[in-house]
Amino acid sequence: MRLDEIPDDLMTKCDGCGALLVTKSWLRDFKVCSRCGHHTRLPAHERIELLCDDGSFEEWEAHLAPRDPLGFPGYEGKRTAAQLKTHLKDSCVVGRARIEGRPVALGASDFAFMGGSMGSVFGEKITRLLERALHERIPAITVTSTGGARMQEGLMSLMQMAKTSAAVARLQAARVPFISVLSDPSTAGVQASFASLGDLIIAEPGALIGFTGARVIEQTMKIKLPKDFQSAEFQMAHGQLDMIVPRAKLRETLAQTLGLLLD
């Protein structure tokens, strides 16, 4: 639906503070709450649209589809349901785009597809993205929203961590910039591979970022963790991020930092 087709009196409830917001202005604010600043998760294509110049996105590798290497119970059903819900073949979208005129290789994961989890297709798409960025010598940018490696593909998912990390190593060696943008949530197997290897690491406010889930740590250690544990602000305070950038400023921040590295 186009923005001007939305009725003026349609309201949306903020997931963060529960405030009722005028849908039209909420959408104009990139799904960020004007009251509490809560950043709602974005589907991969919305994320890409938000970051790149109008109409500049050209998708790569859209044909790659997952298989069921382990014959894992229930995987096929879950995957098909996710495909129908998101109209994606898997949880990650990659392609070429322009950001304020500069060509970039851009990838985003979609949390609505099985928690944005990284299986073989996700890993392969990110690797091809990074390899193509290297080949064309254009900066690579990934925006993650993921719960980590996809359990249902077992070791194949674990291997994607090594595969994508190795691809980042090649970009670094060739001095082609790679920026990792962490949106809510960015955790576990993805956070413990390419997403933590950006030349720059940028997070959205309030994003959950970490390796082991807070609940698991609490249960294992029999402790109570502070409420802001593993928030972007917590990670910033512990030196794990370069900056926290609100969604509305993300595109210009990317353009500016790439300019400072390359021009």
Partner 1 sequence: MLSRWLPLEKPLVEIEEQIEELKRLAVRENMDLSDKIARLEDRKRAAMQDIFQDLTPWEKVQMARHPKRPYALDYIGALCSEWVELRGDRAYGDDRAIVAGLGRFNGRAVAIIGNQKGRDTKERQERNFGQASPEGLRKAQRVMELAARYKRPVISFVDTPGAACTPEAEERGISEAIARNQLVMSQLPVPIVIVITGEGCSGGAIALAVGDRVMMLEHSYYSVIAPEACASILYRDPTKAEDSAEALKITAQDALRMNVIEEIVPEPLGGAHRNLGRMCLTLGEALDRALSELSALPPHELVERRYRRFRCLGAIEDYPPDVAAPQDTPGE
Supply the minimum distance, in Å, between the C-beta of residue 263 and partner 1.
27
Q: Which of 43, 66, 177, 206 binds partner 1 (CB under 8 A)?
A: 66
Residues 6 or more apart in contact with residue 187 via CB below 8 angstroms: 146, 147, 148, 208, 209, 210, 211, 213, 230
Question: x/- string (CB under 8 A) for partner 1, residues 108-137?
Answer: -----------xxx-xx--x----------
Using CA atoms, how far residue 10 sits from 5, 13, 219, in Å, is 11, 10, 42
Of residues 215-244, those binding partner 1 (CB under 8 A): 216-217, 220-221, 223, 225, 229-230, 238-240
**Interface with partner 1, residue 7, by CB under 8 A:** no
**Interface with partner 1, residue 253, by CB under 8 A:** no
How is residue 165 written in tokens? Answer: 């990390």
Q: Which of 172, 233, 251, 253 binds partner 1 (CB under 8 A)?
A: 172
Q: Which of 17, 20, 81, 169 binds partner 1 (CB under 8 A)?
A: 169
Q: How many CB atoms lie within 10 A of CB 176?
A: 21
How is residue 221 written in tokens? Answer: 């250690």
Residues 6 or more apart in contact with residue 180 via CB below 8 angstroms: 141, 142, 144, 194, 195, 196, 197, 198, 200, 201, 202
φ, ψ of residue 32 to 5 degrees: the values are: -110, 135
Q: Which residues bind to partner 1, rule: CB under 8 A? A: 62-70, 72-74, 119-121, 123-124, 127, 149, 151, 153-163, 165-166, 168-170, 172-173, 188-189, 191-197, 209-212, 216-217, 220-221, 223, 225, 229-230, 238-240
